[in-house]
Structure 1
Amino acid sequence: MRTAIKEVKQKTCKACGGKFRPSLSTQKACSVKCALALAPANHDKARKAIDQRERREIQVRKEKLKSRADYAKEAQSAINRYVRMRDAHLGCISCDKPASWQGQWHCSHFRSVGAAPHLRFNLWNMNKSCSACNNFLSGNIMAYRPALIEKIGQEKVEWLECSNGLVRHDIPYLKRLKAIFTKKARRIEKMHEEAQSWIAV
């Protein structure tokens, strides 16, 4: 008894659009000419996939080489950005520069990271400041304190001043911190953009 030969289904050529019966299941072109016509597109697609894989591998290698200090710096940068956006409507915490000032804004610690590392990521301890006060006047603390009392209250400021402790932020905590505050900053940024679009209308 003869076995019926299964008929190969027709395919549509990716290059010319004509119908053909492939000799291989992976065949996408009806002829050598059409296969050559498809080559640049396939090459570009393959190159893009390879580039993406290489970027991912580089990123993984970089992550493995990072120290705890590197993760702390990234977390600090994310929180600093959030604080500047949170306080965007406010002027400098340490002087009379208004929110409309066109210079560089920083995130200033009331108690410095060196003096109180356990308060490094405490949001009461972090406020928007002009670059002049933060860089050249060490935060301008004499003016910072009364403004901070007005902003968050005497009790919280006194708590910051009296708080002493030892803390070692581990890498998973620092990664989580970065992710949370990156998301929070994006949310505020989106709100600002929406507000601007309403004003424009």
Structure 2
Amino acid sequence: MKIKGLRKPKTCKTCKEQFIPHSTTQTVCSISCAIQYSKAQSAKLAEKRALAERKKHRQRRADVKPLSHWVNMTQRVFNDYIRARDGNVCISCGSTTASSYHAGHYRTTAAAKQLRFNEDNCHSQCAACNTHQSGNLGPYHINLLAKIGTERVQALESNNQAYRYTREELEALRAHYRQKIRTLNSERGQP
């Protein structure tokens, strides 16, 4: 049974001392604690506003970037995945001792933009074949036939349907290939 006039003790939000409140909404024990509590709440509110403002600013900056920016960002992650998937073996010359490897496209991104992120169209290739020999397409074609089969190569060669990626699709592709890289690395025991 509650006796009228007696209130249950509360713990002060600032100094953590026990006190008997004068009203049910009182959260601090004294005026000095109330001032400290008010300053802390103001600081938290200012921090929340600053975070929201930074988020809006980042979003505005992202919105004005051209589509080519998002294509390039996605292309980097896709190329990283191709190199991780295939390892250091050139599909054209078979080299395993090259100084660097690229993600070489069978049908170039200039000739077939719709195949830019097609995994059948892109394989690990040494820098010499990809850059200096323009993809070294003769051996690339022969080794590609052996790797993925005739049907899939013909599907690549006959795909001439134009396609334009949206920003949302590119972000989804980038996230997808990041996840695939993480999965490959975890399967191989790499960090």
Q: Which category describes the TM-score, using the shorter chain as reference length?
A: 0.7 to 0.9
Deviates more, 1:48-57 or 1:18-27: 18-27
Aligned 8 A contact 2:79 2:102 in 1 = yes
Identity among equivalent positions (%) equals 34
Mapping of 1:5-24 within 5 angstroms? 9-22=8-21
Amino acid at match of 2:92: S
Amino acid at match of 2:72: K
Query: How far 1:47 sits from its partner (Å)?
Result: 6.0
Query: How far 1:118 sits from its partner (Å)?
Result: 2.0
Mapping of 1:39-50 within 5 angstroms? 48-50=47-49
User: How many residue pairs are counted as aligned between the two chains?
Assistant: 189
Amino acid at match of 2:116: R
Give the aligned partner of residue 82 of structure 1: 81
Q: 2:182 aligns to what SS in structure 1?
A: helix
- CA displacement, residues 74-106 of structure 1 (integer Å, 9 cap, x when unaligned): 332332222222223x512233332xx584432
Q: 1:166 aligns to what SS in structure 2?
A: coil
1:163 is matched with which residue: 148, 159, 165?
A: 159
Q: 1:128 aligns to what SS in structure 2?
A: strand
Aligned 8 A contact 2:14 2:33 in 1 = yes
Query: How far 1:123 sits from its partner (Å)?
Result: 1.1
RMSD: 3.5
Give the aligned partner of residue 191 of structure 1: 187
CA distance in 2, matches of 1:13, 1:28: 6
Aligned 8 A contact 2:75 2:117 in 1 = yes
Aligned 8 A contact 2:82 2:124 in 1 = yes
Stretches of structure 1 that go unaligned for 5 or more consecutive residues are none
Give the aligned partner of residue 95 of structure 2: 97
- CA displacement, residues 44-88 of structure 1 (integer Å, 9 cap, x when unaligned): 755653443233212221232133333323332332222222223
Stretches of structure 2 that go unaligned for 5 or more consecutive residues are none
Give the aligned partner of residue 113 of structure 2: 117
Give the aligned partner of residue 55 of structure 1: 54
CA, structure 1 residues 68+191, in 2 after alignment: closer, same or farther (shift >3 Å)?
same
Q: 1:77 aligns to what SS in structure 2?
A: helix
Give the aligned partner of residue 71 of structure 1: 70
